[in-house]
Structure 1
Amino acid sequence: MSNTETSQPRTEQALAVVQREIDCVEAELTAFRRFRTQLVSIEPPARAAGTVDTSGGGMSALSARQPKPDTNLRAVREAYRETVMAVPHFEAEYDDSLEANMSMEFGPELGTQIATGTRLTPQLYEALLTASERARDERETLLPALERERESLQSVRATLDNCERRGAALGANARRTTDPARLDSIDNQLAEIESECEAAAATRQQQLHGRSTAALSGVDGTSLVRYLYDDCPVTCPALADTVACLETLRRHRRHCIVSTR
């Protein structure tokens, strides 16, 4: 590596993970908003007074075939396929059937009723409206958290790049001199950079410990960092790059100290 080249491989990988997640959540948020808009236009007719809803019961023994779903229920299924199941990453991330995906998003009972039932009752419709709003709201909450994580990673990367460039230049200067006063001056400058690096690490730690996404669907009590980076080589990528930068700075400082003895 040259004196001016910098490298934060774990942070770069983390940024790619976060950006991919942001893209997915943005697409899903738009999809659920569109789904709810379509859902509002499919409101089923109210049940007539004195009638009994038998759509949830079992089929008569005399029935020869499964009755077809009503127009409203078919419209709901089609709207879901055209919105939520049409996001660009659906096949790669989920690749579910209608029933499986609705059950994951809305709960197994509601998902099964929508995917396999025969009538969109007013009660079922209201439950679906509420569930779709919850799915939308969860993504509206998650998206800003992901954007803050991206900003935090970008800040760490910029700090480490700056520290590495300055540290590399000072380290090279230290190896070109044997003057004790000059080496002391270089060591003092390296110590200042080391302090900046440590401050960046402390800020990052505060951000990590202050973040909890336990209330968000799909995270369920784990931290945002674990949710994002569980499949990465390290679960705290920015801190890992910070440690590597500190080790390099301290190596330069040891050279200065040893050379003045």
Structure 2
Amino acid sequence: MPASYSLAPRIEGEMAACSGALGCLEALVGSIVALVLWAGLATGLLFAPRTNVRAALEALRVEYEAITAEQDALKAFVSRVEQLSPSGLKSTVEGGGVGVVGATTGQAGGMGEVRTAYRETVMDVPHYERDYGESFPVNIVNEFGDGVGGAVLANDALSPQVKRAVIASAQEGVTSRDRYLDTLDRERDRLEAAGNALDDAATRCEAVDGQRLRRRSFEELQQRYTRLETARDSLTATLDRRQEQIQAGVAFGWQRRDSESVYRYLYQDIDATYPVLADGTRLLERMDAVEHRLTTALTAQA
């Protein structure tokens, strides 16, 4: 139902129902706000050209904070593992002064401390249950791979070799997240640039629209039409550029991944997998409506 048919009766009802000075004041304020919204919706003044882009930028911000928290957790984990003493072999001297290899020294249960450190750092980030929700065995294998993760799960003693491998795997996790953060930075920059272009095109579109177009001169209507076409060309160029970026894939370091799978993950909680294209399509439809009104006004004067 059009806004002009649904909001106005509600405003009248609220004004009629108020009782008392304070009640009427509250109703008046609420009604004025509703009236402004109703008028804006009816005339198109509240058209938001970058609704999905704005939501996508917020999704990127949340993801960026989560990945940064994971990096900090991995660094804290490395710091704790580095302080652990690995188990090792020692030489003993028995009768006759012959040296033989004896029992292990160091912390025979050191791997338990590794597992505790992992739980208290990597698995303790605020978004863990929301984004992962995995058990310890599943998560550490996913993070470090079958080899290193399996060694942490299967052994009680922390050998020097496993300690080095665990630290190296955690540091690689930090590095890989650096590459991911670079990807998020590039995507944010592209979204902001596209959003600014959408805002500019929408502003120019609104500038050539208006009430009582038939009262404008033929020359002014022609100028408005030309300015609208220029705004459309600029918007089309922005959407074409975004299409090219999507087709090129998303870069992760030296690798490129399918854009659709990446965007479906990043923007799973918003209404559009491709926010720039979604907002751009809505804006093109609005430009079509404005063009129709201008054409109608021009035709009436021809």
Answer whether TM exceeds 0.5 for this pair: yes
Give the percent of matched residue pairs that are identical in Structure 1 and Structure 2: 26
Contact kept, 8 Å, 2:209 with 2:290, in 1: the verdict is yes
Using the alignment, how far apart are the partners of 1:153 and 1:47 within structure 2? 57
Counterpart amino acid of 2:69? A
Structure with the larger helix share = 2
**Which has the higher relative contact order, 1 or 2, with Cα contacts under 8 A spaced 6 or more apart?**
1
Using the alignment, how far apart are the partners of 1:213 and 1:51 within structure 2? 52
Counterpart for residue 209 of structure 1: 247
Deviations 1:176-200 (A, max 9, x none): 5353222111000111111221122
Deviation of 1:3 after TM superposition, in Å, equals: 5.1
Structure 1, unaligned stretches of length 5 or more? Answer: 55-68
Query: Which sits farther off after the overlay, 110-119 or 40-49?
Result: 40-49
Q: Do structure 1's residue 199 and structure 2's residue 237 form an aligned pair?
A: yes
Using the alignment, how far apart are the partners of 2:239 and 2:103 within structure 1? 62
Counterpart for residue 58 of structure 1: none
Structure with the larger strand share = 2
The alignment covers a number of residue pairs equal to 245
Counterpart for residue 101 of structure 1: 139
- The 5-angstrom pairing of residues 32-51 of structure 1 reads 32-48=74-90
Counterpart amino acid of 1:16? E
- The 5-angstrom pairing of residues 1-261 of structure 1 reads 1=41, 2=43, 4-7=45-48, 8-48=50-90, 70-172=108-210, 175=213, 177-213=215-251, 221-223=257-259, 224-229=262-267, 232-261=270-299
Q: TM-score of the superposition, structure 2-length normalised?
A: 0.71
Deviation of 1:89 after TM superposition, in Å, equals: 0.5
Structure 2, unaligned stretches of length 5 or more? Answer: 1-40, 92-99
- Higher Rg of the two aligned structures: 2
Q: CA RMSD in A?
A: 2.8
Counterpart secondary structure, 2:114 = helix
Using the alignment, how far apart are the partners of 2:258 and 2:120 within structure 1? 32
**Segments ≥4 residues shifted beyond 4 Å:** 49-54, 213-216
Counterpart amino acid of 1:133? Q
Contact kept, 8 Å, 1:32 with 1:83, in 2: the verdict is yes
